[in-house]
Amino acid sequence: MKELVSTINFNQLDVFCLTNGNIVSGFIGVAEKKIEMLFLDPQIFGKGLGMQLLNFAVKELKANKVDVNEQNVKAVKFYQKSGFEICARTDQDDQGRNYPLLRMKLKI
pLDDT in tens, the chain (108 residues): 444 454 556 678 899 998 889 988 999 999 999 999 999 999 999 999 999 999 999 999 999 999 999 999 999 999 999 999 999 999 999 889 999 999 999 997
Please name each of the domains of the chain with its CATH number: 1-63 (3.40.630.30), 64-108 (no CATH)
Q: What is the pTM of this model?
A: 0.85
Q: How far apart are CA 29 and CA 16, in angstroms?
A: 7
Q: What is the DSSP letter of 87?
A: E
**Residues 6 or more apart in contact with residue 79 via CB below 8 angstroms:** 54, 66, 68, 104
Query: At 48, which amino acid appears?
Result: G
Count of CA atoms in the C-beta half-sphere (13 A) of 64: 4
Q: How far apart are CA 23 and CA 8, in angstroms?
A: 20
